[in-house]
């Protein structure tokens, strides 16, 4: 490790938004005219490259385009092309319940232009052709932090995390859209003893946490550096980090339901609250330290809450200083008809958390609960040794 990390617990970091998907609210006859005159013919304006038509009934039905620009970054004598975003234009004859345009920002576009400038570029580009967005509605966002620190010796037992988040939210017209477009990605597998990626939560869920070796993802280990590697070099340097080993990414991926629970509906909401969301989730997904034996003793004795976050974790929480204008609290919104189901699921979730954090079995926990209810006179059924 380079000696620029003077203290193992206070490495340099930079927080941001690593991935962003959103709907653009574009309406009016002009959209339909452009769609039928240009898009159905697999053509659009300068810079847009046709990708294909997505016709899956349960997903977004329409035509997709990629948008690239030539950068001022030269590698091996050639200027790199930078993918800024891809955009889907809804087929007006197929769907009426979602917005007309769906956009995914590419990470290399975010790091080349900067998130705010890229959003402004998209707004101005679409407005030039008469497709003026009224608003951008967030569908998914990855709130993240890059850190020059080696996490390869971490284990899942070193963390205290919620076993599962439960929430039922009011339906909106763009909450549950399944976008049927393949993601351009190549899996990289490294056969080593060191940690490469640590997940908490299902990648299909509305919220999950991922901690992974960013430097290896960018090509270290196989000698095949991606365009993103070169683009991120200047981005990290401008923010006080080095594109070198170690470089890790801590990332919370939130889909629309999870975002709505934090009061984030639009991109403007996200830019005001992303930092507060990151800090709130870091207090829920807690790194307790490297002493696994100590952590397990506290977990088995049901005293895990007495262990403080590791100083490194507190440093990371306090170092996220972007998109942090509005404090947030996660809110559970429910239908009145779902109250009983939500209460039942809340109990189930609490039991799962206790099983994880105490080492007790569900039967032992239920036995403790029934005994407590009897002592308080709130349970008419005598304890049966469940």
From first to last of its 386 residues, the chain has per-residue pLDDT tens of 333 344 556 889 999 999 999 999 887 778 888 888 888 887 777 889 989 888 776 678 889 999 999 888 888 888 888 999 999 999 888 877 788 999 999 999 999 999 999 999 999 999 888 888 888 999 999 999 999 999 998 988 899 988 554 333 333 333 333 333 333 333 333 334 678 888 888 777 889 999 999 988 887 655 567 778 888 888 888 888 888 878 999 999 999 999 999 999 999 999 999 999 999 999 999 999 999 999 999 988 888 888 999 999 999 999 998 876 666 666 654 444 444 555 566 677 677 667 766 777 888 888 888 888 777 665 444 434 33
Assess whether the previous peptide bond of 246 is cis (omega < 30° from 0): yes
5 occurs within a structural domain: no
Strands 48-54 and 159-160: unpaired
**Site of tokens 């909401």:** 269
350 and 244 co-located in one domain: no
Which DSSP helix (H) or strand (E) runs through 184? none
Q: What pLDDT does 189 receive?
A: 34
**Site of tokens 């993918």:** 83
Q: What pLDDT does 95 receive?
A: 79
Q: Please, are residues 225 and 218 in contact by the beta-carbon 8 Å criterion?
A: yes
Residue 24, domain extent: 13-333
137 and 170 co-located in one domain: yes
Give the number of other CB atoms < 10 A from CB of residue 348: 14
4 occurs within a structural domain: no
6 occurs within a structural domain: no
39 and 184 co-located in one domain: yes
Q: What pLDDT does 315 receive?
A: 92
Q: What pLDDT does 191 receive?
A: 35
Those residues with Cβ within 8 angstroms of residue 17's Cβ, 6 or more apart along the chain or in another chain? 110, 115, 141, 142, 143, 144, 270, 274, 323
φ and ψ of 302, to 5 deg: 60, 30
143 occurs within a structural domain: yes
314 and 357 co-located in one domain: no
Burial track 152-168 (b if 16+ CB lie within 10 A, e otherwise):
bebeeebbbbbbebebb
342 and 270 co-located in one domain: no
318 and 370 co-located in one domain: no
Q: What pLDDT does 141 receive?
A: 97
Q: What pLDDT does 92 receive?
A: 87
347 occurs within a structural domain: yes
Those residues with Cβ within 8 angstroms of residue 313's Cβ, 6 or more apart along the chain or in another chain? 282, 286, 287
Q: What pLDDT does 360 receive?
A: 78
257 and 381 co-located in one domain: no
CA dist., res. 264 & res. 271, Å (int): 9
Those residues with Cβ within 8 angstroms of residue 143's Cβ, 6 or more apart along the chain or in another chain? 15, 16, 17, 18, 251, 252, 254, 274, 277, 278, 281
296: left (phi over 0), alpha (psi -120 to 50) or beta: alpha
Residue 287 token pair: 């790194």
242 and 304 co-located in one domain: yes
7 occurs within a structural domain: no
226 and 367 co-located in one domain: no
343 and 218 co-located in one domain: no
Instruction: List the strands of the sheet with 78-90, edge to edge.
Output: 48-54, 62-75, 78-90, 101-105, 13-24, 136-147, 248-255, 207-213, 197-200
Q: How many residues does the chain have?
A: 386
Those residues with Cβ within 8 angstroms of residue 377's Cβ, 6 or more apart along the chain or in another chain? none
Those residues with Cβ within 8 angstroms of residue 283's Cβ, 6 or more apart along the chain or in another chain? 309, 317
Q: What pLDDT does 31 receive?
A: 87
Q: Of 315, 333, 351, which marks where a domain is finished?
A: 333
339 and 219 co-located in one domain: no
Give the number of other CB atoms < 10 A from CB of residue 212: 17
**DSSP one-letter string for 51-65:** EEEE--TTB--EEEE
Q: What pLDDT does 329 receive?
A: 67
Strands 13-24 and 101-105: antiparallel
160 and 265 co-located in one domain: yes
Overall domain count for the chain: 2
Those residues with Cβ within 8 angstroms of residue 290's Cβ, 6 or more apart along the chain or in another chain? 153, 158, 310
Q: What pLDDT does 385 receive?
A: 39
């Amino acid at each position: 490790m380079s000696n620029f990390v003077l203290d193992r617990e206070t490495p340099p970091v930079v927080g941001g938004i690593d991935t962003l998907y959103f709907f653009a609210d574009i309406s009016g006859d002009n959209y339909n005219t452009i769609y039928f005159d240009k898009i159905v013919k697999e053509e659009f304006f300068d810079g847009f490259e046709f990708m294909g038509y997505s016709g899956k009934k349960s997903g977004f039905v329409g035509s997709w385009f990629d948008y690239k620009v030539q950068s001022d970054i030269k590698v091996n004598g050639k200027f790199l092309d930078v993918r800024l975003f891809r955009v889907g234009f809804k087929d007006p004859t197929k769907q009426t319940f979602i917005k007309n345009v769906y956009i995914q920002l590419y990470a290399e576009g975010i790091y080349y232009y900067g998130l705010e400038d890229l959003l402004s570029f998209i707004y101005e580009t679409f407005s030039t052709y008469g497709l003026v967005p009224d608003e951008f509605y967030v569908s998914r966002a990855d709130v993240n932090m890059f850190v020059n620190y080696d996490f390869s010796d971490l284990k899942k037992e070193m963390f205290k995390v919620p076993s599962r988040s439960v929430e039922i939210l009011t339906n909106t017209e763009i909450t549950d859209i399944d976008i049927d477009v393949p993601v351009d990605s190549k899996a990289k597998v490294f056969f080593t003893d060191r940690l490469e990626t640590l997940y908490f939560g299902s990648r299909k869920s509305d919220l999950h946490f991922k901690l992974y070796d960013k430097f290896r993802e960018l090509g270290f280990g196989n000698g095949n550096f991606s365009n993103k590697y070169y683009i991120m070099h200047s981005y990290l340097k401008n923010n006080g980090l080095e594109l070198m080993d170690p470089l890790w990414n801590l990332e919370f991926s939130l889909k629309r339901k999870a975002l709505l629970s934090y009061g984030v509906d639009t991109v403007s909401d996200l830019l005001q609250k992303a930092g507060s969301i990151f800090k709130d989730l870091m207090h829920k997904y807690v790194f307790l330290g490297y002493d696994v034996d100590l952590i397990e003793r506290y977990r088995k004795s049901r005293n895990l809450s007495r262990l403080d976050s590791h100083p490194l974790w507190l440093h990371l929480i306090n170092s996220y200083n972007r998109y942090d204008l509005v404090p947030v609290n996660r809110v559970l919104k429910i239908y009145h008809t779902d109250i009983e189901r939500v209460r039942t699921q809340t109990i189930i979730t609490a039991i799962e958390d206790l099983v994880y954090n105490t080492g007790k079995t569900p039967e032992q926990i239920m036995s403790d609960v029934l005994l407590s209810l009897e002592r308080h006179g709130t349970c008419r059924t005598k304890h049966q040794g469940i």
